[in-house]
Amino acid sequence: MTQEAIAELLDPTVLRVGINLGNILLVTGEKPNGDPEGIAPDMAAGIAEKLGVKVQYDTFATPGEVADAAERGEWDIGLIAIEPKRAEVIDFCNAYVQIEATYLVPEGSKFQAVEEVDAPGVRIAVSERAAYDLYLSRTLQHAELVRAQGLPGAFKLFQDEKLDALAGLVPALKDNALEMPGSRLLPGRYTAVKQAIGTRHGKPALKAVVQEFIAEAVSSGHVQSLIDKHGVTGKLAVATDD
């Protein structure tokens, strides 16, 4: 299977990896040579080692740009959250970590639970094309999403436009709350964003190798060790099947 997977690479000597720099929990720094550092790069390096090839990181500012690059055939594997819209161009393997998503609301907000936010007239700031943006776009019945570029942009929009809520991942929203006195996170979650590894369509052998690597990394405790190594314990969790 390994040889078949290598034959499916863009270059049989290198695993080209699409990395989203916008997820600061999965990419936590930069190495002296300029390569990204964190859980996602480490997982990719482990797959390259399993294949016996070098690793090359192709970095992008947002997950949407990683997905766009898949359409252009620019990488072999990409590390972004599982989403049905992205699955149109990416074959996802199982998730390896997950992050809960909720809302930040301003001081004096009437909302006490996640479910209350989806109401007529409610405006929610969100990072455009983030996994939770795509999820909320499918599931919200009444509230309006107001999009901005990236997490900082969405937070600024939330503040400047005095919107009703900011959608995001719990760890990032906790940081935002520190900058906005009186704001608070709503308890519960509207989804858990599943961070995964995908291949371009039509690469069954490569997908099988990646799937096997993820299963081993989760069951052996390797993923948890990476969470601890990169200082995101309590912010990321090993993915579950729920």
User: Which position has the token pair 């480490």?
Assistant: 42
Q: pTM of the predicted model, to two decimals? A: 0.78
- Which residues have a Cβ under 8 Å from the Cβ of 121 and sit 6 or more positions away? none
Do 132 and 64 lie in one domain? The reply is: no
| Count: domains in the chain | 2
Do 112 and 187 lie in one domain? The reply is: yes
Do 9 and 83 lie in one domain? The reply is: yes
Structural element, H or E, at residue 127: strand 123-127
Do 25 and 91 lie in one domain? The reply is: yes
Do 183 and 111 lie in one domain? The reply is: yes
Structural domain span for residue 198 = 2-98+194-238
Q: How confident is the model at residue 73 (pLDDT cuts 50, 70, 90)?
A: very high
Do 92 and 202 lie in one domain? The reply is: yes
Do 32 and 117 lie in one domain? The reply is: no
* Phi, psi (deg, nearest 5) at residue 137: -60, -35
| CATH code for the domain in which residue 119 is found | 3.40.190.10
Cα separation, 151 vs 19, in Å, equals 17
Relative to beta strand 77-81, strand 14-20 is: parallel
Say if residues 211 and 93 touch (Cβ distance below 8 Å).
yes
Do 156 and 217 lie in one domain? The reply is: no
Do 80 and 198 lie in one domain? The reply is: yes
Residue 46 pLDDT exceeds 90? yes
Report, as an integer, the average pLDDT of 58-68. 93
Do 146 and 205 lie in one domain? The reply is: no
Cα separation, 152 vs 132, in Å, equals 15
pLDDT at 56: 98
User: Which position has the token pair 């299977």?
Assistant: 1
Cα separation, 150 vs 23, in Å, equals 10
Structural element, H or E, at residue 96: strand 90-105
pLDDT at 242: 59
Do 206 and 184 lie in one domain? The reply is: no
